[in-house]
């Protein structure tokens, strides 16, 4: 199954999506070492990004961490 992965930032107050940016499969696999995946080897679930995982996601995707947002790593089926 081919998936598109994105790092998403949600407003802490509103819980609405503030922004998202795509992240490659290799980068997502690198982030996996900082996440508790359980049995989700395909990484199809949504994962909260905090601490080291968030720092690495910011480095890999090239964004600055904002204190007013909560961050996740999400997977989507590509359109088409």
Q: What is the pTM of this model?
A: 0.90
- Compute the CA torsion angle 77, 15, 66, 47 (nearest 10 deg): -40
Residue 71 has pLDDT above 60, yes or no: yes
- Radius of gyration for the chain, computed over Cα atoms and rounded to the nearest angstrom: 12
65 pLDDT tier (thresholds 50, 70, 90): very high
What is the C-alpha separation between 39 and 71, in angstroms, rounded? 22
CA nearest neighbour of 18 among 76, 68, 77: 68
Residue 80 has pLDDT above 60, yes or no: no
Q: What is the pLDDT of residues 12-50, one digit of tens each?
A: 999 999 999 999 999 999 999 999 998 888 888 999 999
Residue 77 has pLDDT above 90, yes or no: no
């Amino acid at each position: 199954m081919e998936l598109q992965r994105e790092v998403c930032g949600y407003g802490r107050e509103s819980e609405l999506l503030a922004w998202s940016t795509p992240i490659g499969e290799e980068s997502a696999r690198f982030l996996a070492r900082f996440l508790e995946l359980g049995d989700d080897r395909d990484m199809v679930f949504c994962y909260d990004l905090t601490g080291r995982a968030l720092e690495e996601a910011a480095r890999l995707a090239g964004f600055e961490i904002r204190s007013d947002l909560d961050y996740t790593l999400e997977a989507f089926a590509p359109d088409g």
